[in-house]
Amino acid sequence: MSIKSIGIGWLLVCIGVFGWFGLINPARAIPAFARQTGQACVACHVSFPELTPYGRMFKLSGYTIGTRQALPLALMAQFGVTHVRNNRDDQGQKIVPKTDKPVLSAASVFAGGKINDNIGGWIQWTYNNLAGNGDVGHSGIDNTDLRVVGRSENTDNTDMRWLYGLTVNNNPTVQDVWNSTPAFGFPFTTPPNGIGAAAATMLDGQLGQQVAGVGGYMYWNRTVYFELSGYQTADGFFAPLRAGTDTQTPGGVHRLSGVDPYWRLAWNREWGANSLMLGTYGGHFRVYPDNTLPFTDTDRFTDIAVDAQFQHISQDHTYTFQYTHIHENQDYRASYPATLAGVPIGVGPTPVNAHDTLITDKLKGTYYFDRKYGTTLALVRTHGTADAGLYAPGSVGGSVNGRPDTEGYILELDYLPQQNLRLMLQYYGYSKFNGSRRNYDGSGRPASDNNTLFANIWLVY
Amino acid sequence: MKRIGVGLATLACLFTALGATAFAASGVTPVSASDDAAIKLASQVCSSCHGPGGNSQSPTFPRLAGQQQAYVLAQIKAFKSGERNEQEAHDYMLGMTTLIDDATAESLARYFASQPPPKGISGDPAAVAAGKKIFEQGIPRQVVACATCHGAHAEGNGIFPRLADQHAAYIVRQLTVIQRNLRNSPVMHGIIKNLTPEEMNDVAAYLQSL
C-alpha cells in the first residue's frame, strides 16, 4: 500500500477522533478512578499506565480513595497503523493481516473503583478487533484486580504504618504497583498485528487471563512490600476470570496443576522528587504439557526475577527508569521422557532437552516534558538454551539454530494533548530474532525484516 | 498440591490477622468524630503526597507541618469551591477537597498547624542572602517587604501562610502562577507583579533555608 493512501486513511481517522473530542467537555474526559477521586490522570500516572508514588498508594489502598460512583465505568480504545518492514514470507504470502492501514485494534470497558472504604477493584473486558487472523473480532475478559484492604496509622498519627490486603487477579504481576514487572511494564501497548518472538518466560505474559491468583500483601512504612499469592487455572468458581479465553484448543493456553506460588518483595524509598524501588519476584508453576489433558505429569517452570525502578517527577521534567531480569528454569520432567519414548504429550512443541533456561532482560528509560511530550527507549533481550524441539526451523516463526534468542530496542514518541489521550509512534528494531541476525528462520529471513512501526491513538474515557 | 493451596490460604489469612492486630495497636485517640476523620485522612491519604505529618518530600507538594490553621482552612475551601484554580489545584486538590466536610476541614487545619515544622534546607549562600534582603526589606518602589505580612521569621499570621522551610521549587511555582494570574490572589499579585525569576529564586532559597 502506498504511503499516500496510508496517509489519507490515517488522516480520516484523526479527523474523526478529534471531531468526537470536540463534542466532549475536556474537564469531564476522565476515566472511572479519576471520576471517583476528582483528580486528574497525572495525580496517579506519569503517563498512563505508569504509576506515580501516589498512584501506587491508590492501587495498594484497593482503589478505595474517593467517593463511590453510581456508574463506575470507563472506556478505552486504540486506533492504529502497523507497518512491518517485510510482511511477506519466503513464499510471498502476507504474514500478519491488516498492516499499513488504520484499524480499530481493541476497545475495552472497565468497571472499576470503590465499593466501600475497604473493598475495591477493576475488571476489564476487551474486544479484540484483530483476533482470528483479522477476520472476526473476539471479546473476553482482560486484566482484573479485586482487593480487600486495611490500614493503620503510626503511633504519632502522621503516616500509615501498615497497609495490607488481599488481591484476587487473573495475571501474575498485574497486581504489582511498580512498572518494572511484566504486566504493566513497557511497552504499555504493542502493535496488534506485529510479529512475535518464539519465547517468553511464564511471568512475562504467558498466564494472563488463564489463571486465578489469590494473595495477601503488606506494605510497611511505605518502605517494605511483601506479597505471597497462589495461582491456579481459573476453573469453577474462578472461571469468570478467564471468560472468553479458549481453553479447549490444544496448545492454546498454559494449564496449571493445583495452586502454584508467586512471591514479591520490594524495598521502596522516596526523597525529594525522586523514588527508588529495588525488588525481587518470582513463581513456581506446574504446567501440563497439553492443556486439554490435565491428568498427565507436569513440567515445572521456576521464575526468579530482580527488578528496579527510579522515578524523578517534577513540574516540568520527569524521567523514569525501569529494569527487570527474569531467569526461568524449565524442567521438562513430563514432556522430555514422553518425547524420548516417541509418544510426545499433546500437540507440542516438545523439548529435546530435560532442562532448559530462558532469561529475559528489559531496561527502559522515559523522559517527559510537562507530562505532555515524552520519549522512551527500551532495550530488550531474551536468550536461553538451544532446544531444537521447542524452537524448530520454520518460515518467519521458527529458528534455524534452535535458539530462543531475541534482541532489540523499542523507541517510542508520545504526545498527550489531553491527559487521557495518547498519540504515539513506536518502533521495534531487532538485531536478533529467534536465535540469529541473518536467516534466523532457515528460510532466508533476517531479523530486521520484523522491524515494526506502529502509529497509535490511545484514548481512555 | 492441596497442601500448597491450604498453606497459601493460611498465609493470606495470617496477613490479614497481622494487619488487623497492627491496626488495633495503633492507639488512635479521637477527640471528636471530625478529629478522628481528619487523622485518618491526613495519615492515610494526604500523607501520600504531603508526607508524614505534612512534611512532604516532593517539592511538587507543599509542606503543611506547622502551617497557619486559618490559611490551611481557607485553602481547603478555595480548592473545594474552585476559587483556587491553578493547574495543580485542579489536578490534585479539587477532587480531594470535595470529600472533606466543613468540620473535618477545620480538624485537618488544626492537625497540620499542630505538627512540628521540618528543619530548613540550606542553599546557595549568595541566593539566600539576596533572598533574605528581599524578604526583610523588600525592593524599593517595587515590592513590599514579605515579612510585613508573613512575619519576621516567615512563620505566617492567620490567613498569611507560613513560608519558612517551604520547598523552594513550590514557592517559585506559586509566585509564578500568582504573577500570571493563574492562581487567584489579587493582593499578592499586586505585590509581586514585577518580581523577576532571579528574585523569586533568591527569596525561595532563603525561605527554604529557615
Residues 6+ apart with CB under 8 A from B180: none
Kindly identify which residue of chain A lies nearest to residue B14, measuring between CA atoms: A216
B residues 129-168 lying closer than 8 A (beta carbon) to A = none
Residue B47 pLDDT exceeds 70:
yes
For A228, the closest of B8, B22, B49 (CB atoms) is B8
Which chain A residue has the Cα nearest residue B112? Answer: A158
Ranges in chain B annotated CATH 1.10.760.10: 29-114, 125-209
Is the separation of the CB atoms in A128 and A92 below 8 Å?
Answer: no
> Are the beta carbons of B60 and A315 separated by less than 8 Å?
yes
Closest-approach residue (CA) in chain A for B15: A216
Provide the pLDDT confidence category of residue A133 given band limits of 50, 70 and 90.
low
pLDDT at A271: 93
Question: Closest Cα of chain A to B44: distance in Å?
Answer: 6
DSSP lists the bridge partners of residue A329 as: A302, A357
Query: Which of B28, B88, B161, B163 shows the shortest CA–CA distance to A314?
Result: B88
Q: How far does chain B reach from its first CA to its final CA, in angstroms?
A: 62
Query: Looking at residue A448, what DSSP letter applies?
Result: G
Out of A3-12, A176-185, B185-194, give the one with best mean pLDDT.
Answer: A176-185
> How high does pLDDT run on average in chain A?
90
* Degrees to nearest 5, angle at CA A356 with A350 and A359: 120
CATH code for the domain defined by B29-114 = 1.10.760.10
pLDDT of residue A7 exceeding 80: no
The answer on pLDDT for A392 being more than 60 is yes
Q: Is A51 left (phi over 0), alpha (psi -120 to 50) or beta?
A: beta
For residue A107, what are the CA distances in angstroms to A52, A128, A240, A403, B136? 25, 7, 19, 35, 59
C-alpha cell at A213: 491468583
B125-209: CATH, from 1.10.760.10, 1.10.132.20, 3.40.1370.10, 3.30.1490.20: 1.10.760.10
Nearest to B94 among A38, A230, A259 (CB): A38
Please state, in angstroms and rounded to a whole number, the distance separating the CA atoms of residues A350 and A387: 9
Distance, in angstroms, between A310 CA and closest chain B CA?
A: 14
* Shortest alpha-carbon distance between residue A5 and chain B (Å): 40
Minimal CA–CA distance to B43: which of A31, A222, A62? A222
Q: What is the pLDDT of residue B31?
A: 63
- Cell for A84? 512491518
Tell me which of A147, A158, A166, A169 to substitute to probe the interface with B (most B C-beta atoms closer than 10 Å).
A158
The tally of domains found in chain A comes to: 1
> What pLDDT is stored for residue A402 in this prediction?
96
Question: Which has the minimum average pLDDT: A119-123, A215-219, A314-318, B109-113?
Answer: A314-318
Of B49, B59, B99, the CB nearest to A66: B99
A113 DSSP β-pair partners: A121
The contacts of residue B135 (CB under 8 Å, 6+ apart) are B145, B146, B147, B150, B154, B203, B206, B207
Model confidence band, residue B98 (pLDDT cutoffs 50, 70, 90): confident
Nearest CB to B26: which of A57, A161, A260? A161
Pure H helices in A381-425: none
Of A154, A158, A230, the CB nearest to B4: A230
Task: Check whether A351 has a pLDDT greater than 80.
Answer: yes
Output the nine-digit C-alpha cell for A288: 501440563
* pLDDT at residue A125, rounded to an integer: 94
- Asked whether the predicted pLDDT for residue A25 surpasses 60, the reply is no
Domain that holds residue A129: 3-460
Residue with cell 509512534: A425
Around Cβ B129, how many Cβ atoms within 10 Å?
12
B51: left (phi over 0), alpha (psi -120 to 50) or beta: left
Contact A39 B59 (CB under 8 A): no
What is the reported pLDDT for B33? 86
- Mean pLDDT of chain B, nearest integer: 86
Contacts of A319 (CB under 8 A, 6+ apart): A311, A312, A365, A366, A367, A368
Which CATH number characterizes residue A303's domain?
2.40.160.10
Among the ranges given (A16-25, A452-461, B143-152), the one the predictor scored with the smallest mean pLDDT: A16-25
Q: What is the pLDDT of residue A24?
A: 39
Determine whether the interchain pair B26/A154 forms a contact, defined as Cβ–Cβ distance below 8 Å: yes
CA angle A308, A310, A315 (to 5 degrees): 160
- With contact defined as beta carbons under 8 Å apart, do A309 and A324 qualify? no
Mean pLDDT (whole number) for A106-115: 92
